[in-house]
Amino acid sequence: MTHIFPRHSKLNAPVAVGGEGIYLIDSTGKRYLDGSGGAAVSCLGHGDAEITAAIKAQLDQLAFAHTGFFTSEPAEKLADLLIDHAPGDLDRVYFVSGGSEATEAAIKLARQYFVEKGEPQRGRIIARKQSYHGNTIGALSAGGNAWRRAQFAPLLLDVSHIEPCYAYRLKRDDESLEDYGQRAAQALEDEILALGPDTVMAFMAEPVVGATAGALTPAPGYFKRIREICDQYGVLLILDEVMCGMGRTGHLFACEADGVAPDILCIAKGLGAGYQPIGAMLCTSEIYDTIANGSGFFQHGHTYIGHPVAAAAGHAVVSAILDRGLIGKVREQGAKLHDKLTDRFGQHPHVGDIRGRGLFRGIELVADRETKDPFDPARGVAAKIKKAAFEAGLVCYPMSGTIDGQRGDHILLAPPFIITDDQLDELTDKLDQAISAVI
Ligand code: PMP
């Protein structure tokens, strides 16, 4: 019996003992193609000697120094590297240990900014339905996944959830994608006006929605309009790139593709690439200076922020993404993956939509292609495909999102950036095998 609290009490998980490139190996020697990089984490694959060497060197030099007393070289270097490449006016970095910590910190930073700015009435967050921002109380409050929120509802903050930008389901036949993008963004202005503009502090969204919607990309112009609305009403734009950031979509920061920059940006997962737990929150100097010139410090913090070993790993990972030309690879292999998925599943009676950017791809499964009706949640289609794929030696990330209160099934693919053409074929074959076994 395991004494570890497993994710699921009925999960009889194999023991992972090794990793080589895009494969994971269990204690029986079985190999699994890591088609989702865990949960869009392992962007460099497993066993990357350069990253482990950077971690070992840092451990030999200095394992830990508390940020209440010290800064450290790796944290400073990583912050410089991120800011050198960050969009817009983002020029300050706050390190954390993961995605939920980044979004939670972003919520608190937004609030403290307005308090120190003399607008303490601004305390409302607007986010979107069918989104996920993490599992701590603030982050879970911002997330719009009904199923994840349900049993914790009495503990959650009062966050407004507007409709997501979800062309496959919400675009009308008589409107263009661009027009739909404008209409979807209008929901933000409507909600700001309904709440009272001077009460709203931030709008939080994922540029490309991951876990709850299977690589759902925004309509062209959507985020530009969102940015304009935020500016018009003095509302901060927080972009959550925990899953879609760090090169995953073919840009180091996903929002670059939409031509917008947020006031606060959250990253994690691919930043440590699984080699170390690390996340970060980037913000503008307008926000930083308001606090620095006010009370002087952000009233937040965790013991392990800016951990030198995690920062050394993050620096090695981001350097590898940039220096090895991996962003170009993501675009190239991502386009091939999209074509392979379209060839294989484009006419499948239960595949409604194939979407995504770069090596962040999603398939939406439906009971009926014509009506787009989702499967009955009781069938547990996503979970069964995950199981069948795993048995066939493929790790993919099937998730149930929420569509108008009903659960819908998606498969998310986010393989390591080093995936080859043959491995893309292996991924597609195994996925086909798993889907055919279930629906
Ligand atoms: N935001 C997004 C968009 C995520 O996908 C996730 C994790 N799936 C989180 C936040 C939370 O990150 P973590 O699990 O590292 O706390």
Domains of the chain: 53-323 (3.40.640.10), 325-414+430-439 (3.90.1150.10)
Ligand 1 site, residue 306, Cβ cutoff 6 A: no
CA distances 221 to 7, 35, 36, 87, Å, are: 39, 30, 28, 17
Q: Which residues pair with 362 in a beta bridge?
A: 355, 412
Question: Is any ligand 1 atom within 6 A of the Cβ of residue 104?
Answer: no
Q: What is the predicted pLDDT for the residue at 3?
A: 85
Ordered strands of the 23-26 beta sheet: 16-20, 23-26, 31-34, 394-395
Separation of CA 294 and ligand 1 centre (Å)? 31
CB of 243 closer than 6 angstroms to any ligand 1 atom: yes
**Distance (Å) from CA 349 to ligand 1 centroid:** 32
- Look up residue 339 and give its two tokens: 């074509």
* AA identity, residue 89: D
| Residue whose CA is at the smallest distance from ligand 1 atom 13 | 99
Which of 101, 206, 269, 304 is the best mutation target for the ligand 1 pocket, counting ligand atoms within 8 Å of the beta carbon and taking the most? 269
Report the chain (439 residues): mean pLDDT per 10 consecutive residues.
77 93 98 98 98 98 97 98 98 98 98 98 97 97 91 97 96 98 98 98 98 95 98 98 98 98 98 98 98 97 97 98 98 98 97 98 96 91 96 94 76 98 98 97
Q: What is the pLDDT of residue 405?
A: 66
> What single string gives the DSSP state of each residue in 372-432?
-PPPPGGG-HHHHHHHHHHHTTEE-EEEEEEETTEEEEEEEE---TT--HHHHHHHHHHHH
State if residue 374 touches ligand 1 by the CB under 6 angstroms criterion. Answer: no
Pocket test for ligand 1, best of 95, 107, 132, 209 (most atoms within 8 A of CB): 132
pLDDT of residue 306: 97
Find the 126 Cα to ligand 1 centroid distance in Å: 18
- Determine how many CB atoms are found less than 10 A away from the CB of residue 151: 8
Q: Is the Cβ–Cβ distance between 398 and 390 less than 8 Å?
A: no
CA 287 to chain centre: 23
Other residues' Cβ atoms within 10 Å of the Cβ of residue 167: 21
- At 199, which amino acid appears? T
Whether this model's ipTM surpasses 0.90 comes out as yes
Q: Is the dihedral angle over the CA atoms 293, 299, 304, 305 positive or is it negative?
A: negative
Q: How far is CA 22 from the centre of its chain?
A: 20
Whole-number pLDDT of residue 84: 98
214 Ramachandran zone, left/alpha/beta (phi>0; psi -120 to 50): left
Q: Could you tell me where the beta strands, DSSP code E, fall in 97-222?
A: 124-128, 160-162, 200-205
Instruction: Determine the pLDDT at residue 11.
Output: 76
List the one residue out of 286, 161, 193, 294 whose CA is nearest residue 236: 286
